[in-house]
Amino acid sequence: MALVPYEDTAGVGLQKFHKPLATFSFANHTIQIRQDWRQLGVAAVVWDAAVVLSTYLEMGAVELRGRSAVELGAGTGLVGIVAALLVNTSLTSYPMEEAVVLSTYLEMGAVELRGRSAVELGAGTGLVGIVAALLGAHVTITDRKVALEFLKSNVQANLPPHIQPRAVVKELTWGQNLGSFSPGEFDLILGADIIYLEETFTDLLQTLEYLCSIHSVILLACRIRYERDTNFLAKLEGCFTVSKVLYDPEKDVHVYKAQKRDQREDL
């Protein structure tokens, strides 16, 4: 983009371009973009088109995780900054459709939760674990260390005081700190939108095998978007019996139930 200087006599509609900083809120972050209308002109101010495109990305209309992206004619770089933030914050800061569908499935009563032990993997916002606790389960809600304070705030804000002792927030990085848990510790393993990065599949499978006893049930909610998603389910079937128990056509989300192959009892 050419650097076209403008004079300070610009009209009222252009006054926002003369501010040295333009402030926006995207991806749970306050973003302050430096502007230099006088020296650099149109290339150094935030145009409405950049704001609209950033908003579109924040809506989740495009899958960003694990993708490579380039912003052309970036100017201030707002769109690229938002895209980079969404790659990190979308894992934790927004309830995904898969979490909503899995929470609804639990609320339907298809699985007995009262008095059972449950763990949510890659919890993000913690929605599924919170719902499981409200429905009577003793829940360990897990994610990477960076997400734990956010998770704790959601648990404290959404569970009544008498239920909060049934929900524990704990760090779990798949395949790494499994020693913090007992093998086969949980009756129910929950995961919503955790099947998306192929490089995590081996660690995720190892984690599922470790946490499951012969009586455990795994419930995974996911979209089948790419070949790698199907590949993961095929790998899962190598260790577990897998069946689809729910499909939400409006959200295009599948819920799969998995149990160890030598299992004799259902949950």
Q: Tell me what the mean pLDDT of segment 99-120 comes to.
A: 92
Looking at CATH, the fold of the domain delimited by 12-89 is given as Rossmann fold (3.40.50)
At 95, which amino acid appears? P
Q: What percent of the chain has pLDDT over 90?
A: 41
- What's the token pair of residue 47? 């145009």
Neighbours of 191 (CB within 10 A): 25
pLDDT digits (tens, 9 = 90+) for 199-228: 889 999 999 999 999 999 999 999 888 888
Q: What is the mean pLDDT of residues 61-79?
A: 71
Q: Is residue 34 over pLDDT 90?
A: no
- Please give the DSSP secondary-structure letter assigned to residue 173: -
What are the residue ranges spanned by the domains of the chain? 12-89, 97-260
Q: Does residue 234 carry a pLDDT above 50?
A: yes
More confident call, 57 vs 7: 57
pLDDT of residue 2: 45
Question: Could you give the CA distance from residue 51 to residue 39 in angstroms, rounded to a whole number?
Answer: 22
Q: Model confidence over 131-182: pLDDT tens digits? A: 999 999 999 999 988 888 888 988 998 899 999 999 999 999 999 989 999 9
- Asked if the 97-260 domain carries CATH number 3.40.50.150, the reply is yes
Which has the higher per-residue pLDDT, 125 or 211? 211
Tell me the average pLDDT across 52-79.
73
Tell me the pLDDT of the chain averaged across its residues. 82
What's the pLDDT at 12? 47
More confident position, 42 or 248: 248
Which H/E stretch holds residue 231? helix 227-237
User: DSSP states of 13-70 as a string?
Assistant: GGGGGGSSEEEEEETTEEEEEE--HHHHBGGGS--HHHHHHHHHHHTT-S--TT----
H or E, element range at 103:
helix 97-107
Angle at 179 between CA 201 and CA 91, to 5 degrees: 40
> 52-59 long-range contacts, Cβ below 8 Å, gap at least 24?
53/79, 54/24, 54/26, 54/78, 54/79, 54/82, 55/26, 57/82, 57/83, 57/86, 58/26, 58/27, 58/82, 58/86
93 pLDDT higher than 70 = no
Give every CB contact of residue 44 below 8 A, 6+ residues apart in sequence.
Answer: 3, 34, 35, 36, 37, 75, 76
Strand extents, DSSP E, the chain: 21-26, 29-34, 117-121, 138-143, 167-171, 186-192, 212-222, 240-248, 253-260
One fold for 12-89 and 97-260: yes
CA distance 132 to 122: 15
Q: Which residues contact 258 (CB under 8 A, 6 or more apart)?
A: 208, 217, 218, 219, 220, 236, 240, 241, 242, 243
> In sequence order, what are the beta bridge partners of 33?
22
CB atoms under 10 Å from CB of 246, counted, come to 17
pTM, entire model: 0.68
- Mean pLDDT, range 33-58, rounded to an integer: 76
